[in-house]
């Protein structure tokens, strides 16, 4: 009688190693922050993001401000950050854009740095383009009292 050949399952370490390698490959690539602001508002699943709009109200204390303009073609890589061309401490006065917050220059220990802290360098980790699109999944979220619409 033939015994069944046991198939060795992929170990947890193998799975984790695969995820780490995939993450490193993604992190090493240049991240292009392309959006689709020119799409039709009637295309299923897509929204029309205006090039510039009024700032939307925040919904809670310390909410990262939303981006009130298109970010089509913006790039944030380890070598360049397009956002800082307008919002940087050396440029905001001439562009009229809001200045990057002083908190973005602090490391995780609260030490003030001369440049944007690495953990705050990739703007879209916290800041998102604003839109009045309906939620993808229904919810009953209400802004904190005194905030929102």
List, in order of start, the domains of the chain with CATH numbers: 20-133 (1.10.1130.10)
pLDDT at 113 over 90: yes
Q: Which residue in this structure is represented by tokens 């897509």?
A: 46
93 vs 38: which has the higher pLDDT: 93
Task: State pLDDT tens for residues 115-143.
Answer: 999 999 999 999 988 877 788 898 898 88
Q: Find out whether 13 is annotated in a ligand binding site.
A: no
Q: For residue 23, what is the enclosing H or E element?
A: helix 12-28
Q: SS3 for 16?
A: helix
Instruction: Give the whole-angstrom CA distance, residue 71 versus residue 75.
Output: 9
Instruction: Give the whole-angstrom CA distance, residue 77 versus residue 67.
Output: 18
Q: Find out whether 126 is annotated in a ligand binding site.
A: yes
> Hey, what long-range contacts does 120-125 have (CB within 8 A, 24 or more apart)?
121/76, 121/81, 122/31, 122/76, 123/76, 123/81, 123/83, 124/33, 124/71, 124/76
Q: Find out whether 149 is annotated in a ligand binding site.
A: no
Q: Which residues contact 61 (CB under 8 A, 6 or more apart)?
A: 144, 147
Q: What is the pLDDT of residue 147?
A: 76
115: which DSSP letter?
S
CA neighbor of 100 nearest in space, from 77, 74, 126, 70: 126
Task: State pLDDT tens for residues 34-88.
Answer: 443 333 344 445 455 556 677 778 888 889 999 988 888 888 998 999 999 999 9
Task: State pLDDT tens for residues 26-45.
Answer: 444 444 444 433 333 444 45
The reported pTM is 0.58
């Amino acid at each position: 009688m033939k015994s069944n050949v046991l198939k060795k399952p992929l170990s947890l370490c193998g799975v984790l190693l695969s995820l780490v390698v995939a993450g490193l490959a993604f992190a090493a690539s240049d991240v292009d922050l392309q959006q689709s602001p020119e799409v039709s508002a009637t295309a299923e699943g897509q929204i029309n993001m205006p090039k510039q709009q009024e700032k939307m109200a925040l919904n809670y204390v310390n909410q990262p401000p939303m981006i009130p303009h298109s970010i089509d073609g913006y790039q944030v890589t380890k070598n360049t950050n397009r956002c800082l061309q307008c919002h940087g401490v050396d440029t905001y006065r001439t562009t009229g854009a809001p200045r990057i917050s002083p908190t973005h220059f602090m490391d995780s220990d609260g030490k003030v740095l001369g440049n944007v802290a690495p953990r705050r360098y990739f703007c879209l980790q916290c800041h998102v383009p604003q839109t009045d699109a309906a939620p993808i999944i229904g919810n009953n979220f209400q802004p904190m009292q005194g905030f929102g619409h």
